[in-house]
Chain A
Amino acid sequence: MSETRFESVTRELRATAPSAPEMLRVLVRTLPSPQPRLALRLRPAVSVAIGIAIAVGLGAALIGGFSGAPHQNVANFSPSAGTAGGAATKEVRTPGLLLGSSSSKQAFDDRARALAPVLAPGLRLQRYDVSMSLRVRDLSRSTQAAVRRTRRLGGYVATANYSTGNNTGDSSLDLRVPVQHVQQAIAGFTDLGTILDQHISVGDLQAPLDRTDSRIAALRRVIAELQVKNVRTPAEQMQLDGAKGTLQRLMQSRMNLVREGTYAKISLELTTRKAASKHVTPGRFSRFWSDAGDILGKEAIIVLYALVVAGPFAILAALALLAERARRRHADHRLLEETG
C-alpha cells in the first residue's frame, strides 16, 4: 500500500471509528467499583519466600555454629574405661598429636605423668600392651637407643624392622620389657623424639590365673588319690591318664599367662617423616565457622538433592506447559483466521 493511500485509509478509519453505544456505557457505569488490588502479588511473594528460606538456612547454620562450638572440648588424654580392678582392660590413648611448641610438649608431659597410677604394677598379674609412634631426627641412633634401653631394663627385642629412603626412614620395634619397668621404658622412649601417637592397654590376668591354679590343684588331688591305689581298674587308669594330660596343658597355659604378665609388649614406631600439616586445635571462632559451614554444606546437599529429584519433573511440566500454550495459540490463530 502506498504511503498516501495508507494515510488516507488510516485517517478514514480513525475518523469514523465508532463509539460505544449509550446502552453499553450505562451498563458499564452501573458496574460496582473494583475492590483494591491485592497488596501481595505472586512475584514479590516468591521473592519474599526465597529470602525467608535463605534466612532460615543461614540462621540454622549460625545457630548450629554457636551451639556446636563449645561441645568440641579438647579431651586428648582421658581414660576410656574403668579401673583394672573392676574391668578386665583399661586403655589410655593419645590421638594424633604433633607437639610443635614447648608449651604443648609441657602439657603432654603433664598428661604423661598422670598415667603413672595406671601403669604402676601392683600385686595382681596384668598384661601391658603399649604402642607408641614417634617422630625422630636420627632414625639409626634413636633405634639403637631404644634397643639399648630395652636391654638395660631387662627386656629384649622380639622383632625389628628398619628401612630408610633418600630423605626419610621408618623403623618398627616389637619389644618386651619387664612389667615393673614399663613406666621407665615409656619415659625413656618419650625422650627419643616427638610423640605422634600413643596407646596403652592394661588387662587383668589374675582372675584366669587363679582359675587355672584351682583347676591344677584339683587335678593334682585326683591324680594323688589314683596313684595311691596299687591296683587300678581300666576306667581308673584312663581317668589318671586323662588327668595327667589335662594337668600338663593347664601347666603350659599357666606358664603362658605368667610370661604374658611378666613382660609388657611395646610396639615402637619411629619415623623421620615430617607431618603433612600441623594439627592445631581450632579456636572457638574457627570452630563456629567450621560448624556453620558444615550445616550450610548439608543444606546445600539437601537442596541439590531436591533439585536433582524434582528437576526432571519440573522440566517435563514446563515443557508440557509450553506445548499447551503453543497449541492454544495456534488454535486461537486458526479461529481468528476465519472470515467472519
Chain B
Amino acid sequence: MAEEHLDDVYRYLLYVTGNPHLAEDLAAATFERALRRWRRFDPRRASARTWLCQLARSTALDHFRAEQRRRRREDTYASDVPETDEPVFGEGLSPALDAAVRSLSRGEREVVVLRVVLELDGETVARVLGIRPTAVSTRLSRALQKLEERMVSDVRD
C-alpha cells in the first residue's frame, strides 16, 4: 500500500513545501507515522490515499510550525524553496508554469495539487483540508486565477 500511494504523497508534499529534498524527508516521516498509526486507520471513513494525504498534511504543518519557531529564535534563516532555474514541480514543466506555481502560497499550491494533479474530488479534498467543499472550490478558483495572471504577466515580460 505504501508504494502504491508513495508518488501521491510525495507530489502533495512537493507542492506544499516547494522543496524536493524537504518533500522527500517529509514523505519518509509521513510513512513512518502511518506505520505507527496504522491501527487507527478506518477504511470505512476514508480511503488509504485520503488518510495518507491527511497524515502528510499534518506532518508538513508540524514541520512548518517548527520552522516558524526556529525563525523566531534566529534572525536569519534559509528559505525552504531552493534558488534554482530547474523546474521544481516536475521534469519537463514549462519554466513559466513552474514559476507561476512557485509564486502561489502553500495553501493555494495544496489545493491545486490535490484537485488537479492528484485528481481528488471536492469532497475528499475538503476532508483532507478540514474545510467545506464550497471553500475548496473557492480556493481552487482563486489559485487558478492567480496562476493565470502570473503566467500572462510572465509572457508580457
A interface vs B, CB < 8 Å? 1, 5-6, 9-10, 12-21, 23-25, 27-29, 31-32, 34-35, 37-38, 41, 329, 332-333, 335-340
Q: Report chain B residues within 8 Å CB of A5.
A: 148
24 A-B pairs with C-beta separation under 8 A: A1-B148, A13-B117, A14-B119, A17-B7, A18-B90, A20-B7, A20-B24, A21-B24, A24-B10, A24-B24, A25-B3, A25-B6, A29-B3, A31-B35, A41-B42, A329-B130, A333-B107, A335-B68, A336-B64, A336-B105, A336-B107, A338-B105, A339-B105, A340-B81
Residue pair B148, A19 in contact (C-beta under 8 Å): no
Q: How large is the interface on B (under 10, 10 to 19, 20 to 34, 35 or more residues)?
A: 35 or more
Known: A14-B117, A20-B7. 15 other contacts (CB 8 A): A12-B94, A13-B93, A13-B116, A16-B87, A16-B90, A17-B11, A18-B14, A18-B90, A20-B24, A21-B20, A21-B24, A31-B35, A336-B105, A339-B105, A340-B106
B90-129 contact mask (Cβ, 8 Å, vs A): 1 or 0: 1111100100010111110010100011010000000000
Q: Cα distance A38–B130 when bound, in Å?
A: 25
Q: Cα distance A337–B108 when bound, in Å?
A: 7
Residue pair A28, B79 in contact (C-beta under 8 Å): no
Q: Report chain A residues within 8 Å CB of B147.
A: 1, 9
Residue pair B28, A27 in contact (C-beta under 8 Å): yes
In the assembled complex, how far is the CB of residue B57 from the closest CB belonging to chain A, in whole angstroms? 9
Residue pair B38, A16 in contact (C-beta under 8 Å): no
User: Known contacts A339-B105, A340-B17: does B35 contact A16 (CB below 8 Å)?
Assistant: no
Q: Report chain A residues within 8 Å CB of B68.
A: 335
In the assembled complex, how far is the CB of residue A273 from the closest CB belonging to chain B, in whole angstroms? 67
Q: Cα distance A340–B67 when bound, in Å?
A: 12
Among B35, B101, B107, the residue within 8 A (CB) of A34 is: B35
Among A13, A14, A32, the residue within 8 A (CB) of B35 is: A32
7 interchain residue pairs of minimum CB distance = A16-B90, A336-B107, A34-B38, A20-B10, A336-B106, A16-B93, A1-B148
B53 within 8 A of A: no
Residue pair A24, B90 in contact (C-beta under 8 Å): no
User: Known contacts A1-B147, A18-B91, A340-B80: does B28 contact A9 (CB below 8 Å)?
Assistant: no
B interface vs A, CB < 8 Å? 2-3, 6-7, 9-11, 14, 16-18, 20, 24, 27-28, 31-32, 34-35, 38-42, 61, 64-65, 68, 79-81, 87, 89-94, 97, 101, 103-107, 110, 112, 116-117, 119, 130-131, 144-145, 147-148
Q: Report chain A residues within 8 Å CB of B9.
A: 20
Residue pair A13, B90 in contact (C-beta under 8 Å): yes
User: Known contacts A5-B148, A20-B10, A41-B42: does B28 contact A337 (CB below 8 Å)?
Assistant: no
User: Known contacts A13-B97, A20-B27, A336-B16: does B38 contact A37 (CB below 8 Å)?
Assistant: yes
User: Known contacts A1-B148, A13-B116, A32-B35: does B106 contact A338 (CB below 8 Å)?
Assistant: yes
Residue pair A17, B117 in contact (C-beta under 8 Å): yes
Q: Cα distance A104–B104 when bound, in Å?
A: 94
Residue pair B16, A35 in contact (C-beta under 8 Å): no
Residue pair A28, B31 in contact (C-beta under 8 Å): yes
Residue pair A16, B92 in contact (C-beta under 8 Å): yes
In the assembled complex, how far is the CB of residue B115 from the closest CB belonging to chain A, in whole angstroms? 9
Q: Cα distance A14–B15 when bound, in Å?
A: 13
Residue pair B10, A19 in contact (C-beta under 8 Å): yes
Q: Cα distance A29–B103 when bound, in Å?
A: 34
In the assembled complex, how far is the CB of residue A222 from the closest CB belonging to chain B, in whole angstroms? 103
In the assembled complex, how far is the CB of residue B121 from the closest CB belonging to chain A, in whole angstroms? 15
Residue pair B144, A6 in contact (C-beta under 8 Å): yes
- By beta carbon, the residue of chain A nearest B102 is A339
- By beta carbon, the residue of chain A nearest B144 is A1
- By beta carbon, the residue of chain B nearest A5 is B148
- By beta carbon, the residue of chain A nearest B130 is A329
In the assembled complex, how far is the CB of residue A334 from the closest CB belonging to chain B, in whole angstroms? 9
In the assembled complex, how far is the CB of residue A337 from the closest CB belonging to chain B, in whole angstroms? 5
Q: Report chain B residues within 8 Å CB of A1.
A: 144-145, 147-148
- By beta carbon, the residue of chain B nearest A29 is B3
Residue pair A20, B6 in contact (C-beta under 8 Å): yes
- By beta carbon, the residue of chain B nearest A339 is B105
Residue pair A337, B117 in contact (C-beta under 8 Å): no
Q: Cα distance A37–B20 when bound, in Å?
A: 32
In the assembled complex, how far is the CB of residue B37 from the closest CB belonging to chain A, in whole angstroms? 9
Among B32, B89, B105, the residue within 8 A (CB) of A16 is: B89
- Which residue of A13, A21, A339 has the most chain B CB atoms within 10 A of its CB atom? A13
Q: Cα distance A16–B98 when bound, in Å?
A: 11
